[in-house]
Amino acid sequence: MFIHHVFFWLKDPDSQADLDSLKEGLQRLSRVGTILSHHIGRPAGTHRDVIDGSYSLSWFTTFDSAEDEAAYQQDPIHLEFVATCSHLWSRVVVYDTIDA
């Protein structure tokens, strides 16, 4: 199993239109064939010292393998997502994990 978790910070975090555009882009991105499962999330509003809720949206995906995730990175749907949505964010942080 390969997990790819991406956190996005919008350039204009107060813009509902930008948030909606990013969410729509992620929904289109979910059509990539190598994705096993996906989840679009927003900060839960929980507050503890170890929680960073400063991001706008997160994108959590699972794949069978690192090779499937690598194919996702080159998939035309992913490349289109980056081309059409990257103007919306100011920062992106990615956490990729594999089974321990």
Torsion of CA 28, 15, 86, 2, to 10 degrees: -60
Which residue stretches of the chain are H helix? 16-29, 66-74, 76-85
pLDDT value at residue 37: 98
What average pLDDT does the segment 7-29 reach? 98
Q: What pLDDT is recorded for position 15?
A: 98
What's the pLDDT tens digit per position in 40-52?
999 999 999 999 9
Q: Which tokens hold the place of 73?
A: 């990175």
Within 13 A of 92's CA, how many CA atoms are on the CB side? 12
| 60-73 average pLDDT score | 98
Instruction: Catalogue all structural domains in the chain, each as residue range(s) with its CATH number.
Output: 2-42+55-98 (3.30.70.100)
pTM attached to this predicted model:
0.95
What pLDDT, on a 0 to 100 scale, did the predictor assign at position 31?
A: 98
Q: Which two tokens stand for residue 34?
A: 């190598």
